[in-house]
């Protein structure tokens, strides 16, 4: 009898397990047909395949293989959650335009833990718009024109001069340091040379564990990532406390704006929101623009014809300047047409953001398929940027393709390097300014040669595993 009970229990467990696996792999939708696809293994889904490294500028094998099999819109499972992946320009555009109505910003739980539950990507509606308007006080057009243009050029001049005295520089690290120091100064008046605690060092630890298996145990990359975040927040919190407890005076940085908001009688932000915002802005300055700038210089090195045309544009600016010793004016910056084409083409091929996540707030019907409420949707910019039906010879670096494209100064359903809709990257113009001014100083005052490195790897984000080492030579 006991044997029969045990056998019955074992069979029941097997049946339930098989049923659970079947239900996992074949989810139901009560209001229509789900997009085709595979949900992968229970709990893990297809997460490991998604994060599998590759060394190409092309669409990742994970996405490319599924487009061939299922079409431009398919379902999968990432980090244990059902996800619809969209490589369709029309659906992508629709998702961005319906922010706050049919979709809202979403990122995996590990992302929320790493960047903070009050980070700007996790906020919605009025609160997000409010923080965006706050950030535009620093990165908006007036600030770019009146303050940041001059500061960016000063930083570029000083760093390039310093680098030219070295036999070799690793460009990604060097540009990261330059951009981080500049942005940290504008955000919080942080001077790395006079500080006992290196914010930059902690961001390096943070970055190395950002895309890692989320096991918070000593010795793991994820643990070092969380420790890096903890150390950065400690520095920011101490600085905020010191500022708020000291007699009020203007420092001319973004912290002034934050403290002014915090001190209002009915402040809309908390200290936690303020600190998470500062953390996110520092991280963005540390990583994304330096990646794009490093890649741009690699492309210019590999395409001397493009470098020659870019140099001609900037030499012409110098020739037309009344006083060659003055810095770049706003009018000169706005005239850098080919430079902006180089920047857009770099951003198109770089695809630094391999996926942009949203969550469906309602059941969404699209081309005969249903995206159920609560499901996540991943907009995939690389699949659009590298689509041969949109961009001829998409893997070729060709800035001139932007000559007739309306997206040169913004975004569209065919260009999403800086996102789209109401969440279009608030720092996009600042990033372009930094790249343009750096390239101006570089091509007019220096030549260079590549020494080693420059190969890329995607996991799925862009990286230079061996760096990109160059040597600079001042022009006569």
Measuring CA to CA, how many Å separate 414 from each of 74, 115, 267, 348, 383?
19, 29, 39, 10, 10
Measuring CA to CA, how many Å separate 451 from each of 160, 203, 471?
17, 27, 7
Q: Which residues are annotated as a binding site for heme?
A: 425
**DSSP, res 406:** G
Specify the DSSP element, H or E, that contains 186.
helix 171-188
C-alpha count within 13 angstroms, C-beta hemisphere, residue 123: 21
Residue among 205, 177, 212, 209 at smallest CA distance from 193: 177
Query: Roughly what angle, to the nearest 10 degrees, separates helices 171-188 and 271-302?
Result: 150
8 three-class SS: helix
Question: From CA 388, how far away is CA 412, in angstroms rounded?
Answer: 17
Question: From CA 57, how far away is CA 73, in angstroms rounded?
Answer: 21
Measuring CA to CA, how many Å separate 264 from each of 170, 238, 267, 453?
45, 20, 5, 51
- Please, what is the end-to-end C-alpha distance for the chain in angstroms? 97
Peptide bond into 468 cis (omega under 30): no
Q: Which residues are annotated as a binding site?
A: 425
Question: From CA 353, how far away is CA 321, in angstroms rounded?
Answer: 38
Strand partners, 83: 76, 376
134 three-class SS: helix
Question: From CA 386, how far away is CA 349, in angstroms rounded?
Answer: 8
In order, the DSSP letters of 66-124 are HHHHH-SEEEEEETTEEEEEE--HHHHHHHHHTBTTTEEE---HHHHHHH-TT-GGG--
* Contact (CB, 8 A) for 461 and 354: yes
Q: Radius of gyration over alpha carbons of the chain, in Å? A: 24
**DSSP, res 248:** P
């Amino acid at each position: 009898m006991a044997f029969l009970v045990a056998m019955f229990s074992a069979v029941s467990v097997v049946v339930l397990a098989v049923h659970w696996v079947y239900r996992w792999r074949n989810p139901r939708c009560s209001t229509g047909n789900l997009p085709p696809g595979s949900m992968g293994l229970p709990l893990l889904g297809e997460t490991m395949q998604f994060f599998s490294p590759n060394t190409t500028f092309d669409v990742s094998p994970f996405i490319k293989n599924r487009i061939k099999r299922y079409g431009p819109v398919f379902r999968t499972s990432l980090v244990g959650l059902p996800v619809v992946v969209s490589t369709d320009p029309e659906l992508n555009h629709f998702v961005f335009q319906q922010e706050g109505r049919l979709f809202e910003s979403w990122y995996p739980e590990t992302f929320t833990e790493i960047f903070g539950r009050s980070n700007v990507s996790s906020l919605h509606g009025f609160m997000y718009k409010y923080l965006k308007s706050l950030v535009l006080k620093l990165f908006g057009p007036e600030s770019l024109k009146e303050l940041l243009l001059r500061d960016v050029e000063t930083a570029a001049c000083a760093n390039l001069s310093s680098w030219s005295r070295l036999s070799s520089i690793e460009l990604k690290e060097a540009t990261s340091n330059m951009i981080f120091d500049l942005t940290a100064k504008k955000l919080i008046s942080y001077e790395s040379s006079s500080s006992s605690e290196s914010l930059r060092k902690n961001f390096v630890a943070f970055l190395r564990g950002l895309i890692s298996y989320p096991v918070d145990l000593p010795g793991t990359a994820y643990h070092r990532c969380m420790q890096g975040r903890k150390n950065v927040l400690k520095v920011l919190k101490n600085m905020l406390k010191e500022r708020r407890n000291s007699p009020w005076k203007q420092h001319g940085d973004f912290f002034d704006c934050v403290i002014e908001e915090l001190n209002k009688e009915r402040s809309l932000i908390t200290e936690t929101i303020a600190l998470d915002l500062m953390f996110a802005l520092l991280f963005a300055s540390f990583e994304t623009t330096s990646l794009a700038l490093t890649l741009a210089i690699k492309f210019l090195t590999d395409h001397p014809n493009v470098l020659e045309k870019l140099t001609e544009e900037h030499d012409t600016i110098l020739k037309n300047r009344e006083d060659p010793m003055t810095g770049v004016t706003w009018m000169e910056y706005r005239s850098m047409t080919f430079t902006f084409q180089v920047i857009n083409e770099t951003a198109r091929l770089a695809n630094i953001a391999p996926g942009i996540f949203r969550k469906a707030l309602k059941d969404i019907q699209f081309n005969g398929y249903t995206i159920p409420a609560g499901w996540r949707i991943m907009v995939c910019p690389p699949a659009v940027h590298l689509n041969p039906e949109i961009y001829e010879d998409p893997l070729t670096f060709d800035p001139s393709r932007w000559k007739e494209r309306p997206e040169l100064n913004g975004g569209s359903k065919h260009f999403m390097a800086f996102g789209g809709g109401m969440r279009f990257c608030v720092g996009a113009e600042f990033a372009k300014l930094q790249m343009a001014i750096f390239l101006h100083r570089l091509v007019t005052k220096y030549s260079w040669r590549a020494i080693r490195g420059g190969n890329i790897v995607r996991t799925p984000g862009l990286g230079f595993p061996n760096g990109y080492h160059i040597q600079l030579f001042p022009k006569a």
